[in-house]
Structure 1
């Protein structure tokens, strides 16, 4: 076995070993990658090259968008914005059977798209909606399932940190194009959840709310406008080329902070806690990106992506079958791994394969993020699943059964997104981001 083979074996076995013993994914990837470097370059050169690769991987203007969007999300999560969006969603969904469940879905779509975090949406909206639904006699497991299933829509509806990570690792795919491409798939996910909630609510006999007077509805919409304007300002500015995604993320922080001060929901003395919370999250993500850069170098040296591509293309040259295999792999991986490391690891492996078949990288990016977003609500690791269950004060096994219909509809939407490129590409093409 040559040097490349030994390094590849050390990398794969090392990552598997450290994950099995319970080490965090970033530590597992980092240690295994450096050990593989030792076999290629020797101890001294390996440490120096690893440090250089980590710095290079994190030294990106595009990556600055992630800490800013994370900070904006934390500010909004603490700034009373969720309740205003819930009230707006309640007016929109009030006449539908199971109106509070429909409200939960719409509120998650709006809050998730503003904060860019599925976990934040599940926590903020879930903690607001759970008492309301319990008061109206909703089954707690059903309420939790609706909240959990719809929370990841914000990972597709921009701004989305996962799409920014994909842009970085895919060689600079346009962030603006990815943001626009995420709208229709994200909305379809939400609509799918609303359809399932509609039929489940009809079966359980949950009624709609009484009609809201026009003056009350108008006041609710006016109260929600400042929060919703964040999307218009940030995404609109990116589309028009007024500023980059990174600059837009900084604007989002300033806007969210000013809005929270106006609402008087955040005090100056709370800012250190908010900054610390966002710093912890940012540190995890950025460190993971850094160690994944080392791993990418080792993988390129050992030729692992090409070996996998050759094996897959040797098995079949049918694009439909290849995409099915990729979806299955990503769905399985998503149940054990957070979206960010999964994107960093599997994009360099799968992207060259689909490019050979002429698949647009923007379409592929949406497919990957959609797959891994489903993983956030599936056991055994799903962070949204655990947060949603904790907010509802339920055990995981109590929400799995009512979640099954939602799994079915999201996988159906995934297949539509996979095999109908227009669902992802129509909007960015219309706006001129894809030619």
Structure 2
């Protein structure tokens, strides 16, 4: 009988070594898990258990939500939803010093609440905001840092594919409960980024980007309504149990042409 502590150390050691060698994380997990099972169980049982676990883990209806969220992020980016959210965020941050940085943070928070992906949020919003910030005299490194630091809000603010995968891997954790907790954490993360940005903007004397005109504000708000409704429908539908995680990601396909 193999000591459980020795088996655990073997699992961690193999995983860390493979990770240090540059192997993909998925390959590291598979090899480390299989190596540990070979130490604990006979060879034939290890092979059978590994194959069974791989297929049973993928046999989940909720996993279909992951590619749908990824695809919805691509569709929203190509449909101009990111630009609409950026313009809407400017209505609230345009009068603050370093306003473009705040716009980047708020834009990441809102886009993450639709796409469920930090990468999609940082790519879409950052692709608009970082060049714009550089043109307005912001340090390009600072603009990129703001985008990178605020991108995790897209992973925390629901819906997020990471929480869906965790709920499936943990075996029974409520997705709605994870989303509720992630909402608070994501908002706090965004507020923290704004506080740091405020200090840096005052030290570097970053100017106010623009003043909002009433006519323009109304037009921007109306254009952002479909995107904002997506946030309410997707997050509210899942948290309130109205719809499973698989259905809301399909909505951006319809709103994309609004």
Moved more, 25-34 or 160-169: 160-169
Map residues 2-401 of structure 1 onto 2, 5 A cutoff.
2=2, 4=4, 7-248=7-248, 252-253=249-250, 255-260=251-256, 262=257
- Over aligned residue pairs, what C-alpha RMSD do you find? 1.9
How far the C-alpha of 1:68 sits from its partner, in A, is: 1.8
Q: Cα distance 1:205–1:33, how it changes in 2: closer, same or farther (>3 A)?
A: same
CA contact (8 A) 2:82 2:125 kept: yes
Moved more, 93-102 or 65-74: 65-74
CA contact (8 A) 1:6 1:39 kept: no
Mind listing any 5+ residue stretches in structure 1 that lack a counterpart?
A: 264-435
Q: Paired residue for 1:294?
A: none
CA contact (8 A) 1:118 1:151 kept: yes
How far the C-alpha of 1:5 sits from its partner, in A, is: 5.8
CA contact (8 A) 2:118 2:152 kept: yes
Tell me the alpha carbon deviations over residues 211-269 of structure 1, each in whole angstroms, 9 at most, x when there is no partner.
21111101101111111211111222224432122233xxx22x212233x26xxxxxx
How far the C-alpha of 1:76 sits from its partner, in A, is: 1.7
TM-score normalised by length of structure 1: 0.56
Find the aligned partners of 1:33 and 1:95 in 2 and give their Cα distance.
54
How far the C-alpha of 1:159 sits from its partner, in A, is: 0.3
Q: Cα distance 1:60–1:199, how it changes in 2: closer, same or farther (>3 A)?
A: same
Q: Cα distance 1:47–1:89, how it changes in 2: closer, same or farther (>3 A)?
A: same
CA contact (8 A) 1:126 1:144 kept: yes
Q: How many aligned residue pairs are there?
A: 258
Find the aligned partners of 1:77 and 1:187 in 2 and give their Cα distance.
22
Mind listing any 5+ residue stretches in structure 2 that lack a counterpart?
A: none
CA contact (8 A) 1:167 1:174 kept: yes
TM-score normalised by length of structure 2: 0.92
